[in-house]
Amino acid sequence: MSHNNLSNRRRTTIAQHLPSNLVEKQQEFLAFITYRRIQHDYPLAFIGNMDETPVIFDLPSNTTIDEVGAKTISIRTTGHEKTNFTVVLACMADRTKLPPLIIFKLKKVSKGKFPSDIIVRANPIGWMNENEMLYWIENVWVKRARLSNPQSLLVLDSFSAHIVDSVKRRFGEKNTNIAIIPGGLTSCLQPLDVSMNKSFKAKVEFINFC
């Protein structure tokens, strides 16, 4: 290991298989964004990005503190380390963060007090679908600015719920142009996936650890 400059490393990400025409697709997508910005001259406050990320209820750490020389290291969990929910994050290019939306895998939202700055939803799969996407537009995306209905641009990946006809129509009603990231390029072109989701999950894991 030492001779070949190798060492044991902890995984930081799972590599996505990138398409063979990566550069061409990147250039086409960036050219589309540039065209839209020239066409509408959006202020930074009206250029947004949205992404869903799964979060596990119980995020046991891979490390803990124990006695030196201990042969077996146990970490207790609540038994929900394979149960997850969805967090929908969104931000604008001027650094404004939109209210997060959480989707639980339940028939209906459980009674209880939730923080006022998040929105809680529930459905049988605990993931984004057409109805949740329409709800997100009406209850989160419309809060992007004080203006009633400004012309805006939203960057999304090609997940099916983002591009169904009803969702596209609703975006049109909200004066929103959508820019769909080509399949296979989210790890390169999805701003939230590149810069925010990892740190968000790291903070959630730290809170659970504490």
Q: pLDDT for 33-52, tens place per residue?
A: 999 999 999 999 999 999 99
Considering only residues 200 and 14, tell me which one the structure prediction assigns the higher pLDDT. Answer: 200
- Domains of the chain by range and CATH? 23-60+81-209 (3.30.420.10)
- Identify the pLDDT of residue 69: 76
Q: Which of 76-80, 146-150, 191-195 has the weakest average pLDDT?
A: 76-80
Alpha helices of the chain — where are they, by DSSP H? 22-40, 130-139, 165-173, 186-189, 191-195, 197-209
Q: Is the distance from CB of 119 to CB of 69 less than 8 angstroms?
A: no
Looking at this protein, which amino acid is placed at residue 110?
A: S
Relative to beta strand 152-156, strand 176-180 is parallel
Tell me how far apart the alpha carbons of residues 59 and 55 are, in angstroms, rounded to a whole number: 9
User: Looking at the predicted structure, is the pLDDT value of residue 209 above 80?
Assistant: no
Tell me how far apart the alpha carbons of residues 50 and 58 are, in angstroms, rounded to a whole number: 24
- Identify the pLDDT of residue 25: 87
User: Looking at the predicted structure, is the pLDDT value of residue 203 above 70?
Assistant: no
Instruction: Give per-residue pLDDT as tens, 56-100.
Output: 766 666 666 777 777 777 766 665 566 788 999 999 999 999 999
Instruction: Give per-residue pLDDT as tens, 124-139.
Output: 999 999 999 999 999 9
b/e for 58-88, b at 16 or more Cβ within 10 A? ebeeeeeeeeeeeeeeeeeeeeeeeebbbbb
- Identify the pLDDT of residue 174: 93
* pLDDT, mean of residues 181-203: 76
User: Looking at the predicted structure, is the pLDDT value of residue 15 above 60?
Assistant: no
Relative to beta strand 101-105, strand 84-92 is antiparallel
Tell me how far apart the alpha carbons of residues 35 and 10 are, in angstroms, rounded to a whole number: 41
Average pLDDT, whole number, for the chain? 83
- Identify the pLDDT of residue 204: 65
Q: Is the distance from CB of 99 to CB of 118 less than 8 angstroms?
A: yes
